Amino acid sequence: MKRILSRYALLLGALVLFLSNTQAQNLNDADVPIDVQKWFYSKYPGASEISWSAIKSKSGEDLFQAEFPFDSDDIEAIFSANGKLLYENREFHKSKSPAPIIDHASSNFGKFKLLAIHKHTNFDYGALHSQETNYELIMKVGKEVMTVWFNKDMNRHDQFETSNLAIK
């Protein structure tokens, strides 16, 4: 079990490194292309307290990352320069955590402390990539921090495929 969890921790670390491997440049709203802003506000109407960054994908494509609170969740969204939403990471407010994931943790891990639940969505990005959603449960069981992955149907799965990330 520890071996599987170590593998997840390694994958999560690789994902974080992958996403942060780009040199982010903080931007003012005026520096964000109008197409990006238009699509951002159509997807997240009324969003405020937005922190914008310019990043580059590994292939050198210009991307725009927004971090902001929305509907009591914390969201990170990444857009292409023409405004297409490529990736969204939604960290649920604890009171809005998906019940099937909490039920799974309660049934399989007994007493646990919920640290976070994230919903990672990679949106359609060309012929080789299709939308994929994964849920990430981060909890503390005893003294150990654990990460458990779920598919879009909130069924537990043992693999998280980082090679299919839309922003690579």
Domain residue spans in the chain?
A: 2-156
What is the distance, to the nearest Å, from the Cα of residue 48 to the centroid of all Cα atoms in its chain? 19
Task: Report the distance separating Cα 165 and Cα 57, nearest Å.
Answer: 11
Low-confidence ranges of the chain (pLDDT < 70): 1-23, 124-130, 158-168
> Who contacts 101 (Cβ-Cβ below 8 Å, separation ≥6)?
117, 135, 137, 150, 154
Pairing, β 113-122 against β 132-141:
antiparallel
CB 115 within 8 A of CB 136: no
End-to-end CA distance of the chain: 30
Look at residue 46 in the predicted model and tell me its pLDDT.
94
Look at residue 21 in the predicted model and tell me its pLDDT.
45
Look at residue 20 in the predicted model and tell me its pLDDT.
44
CATH number of 2-156: 3.10.450.360
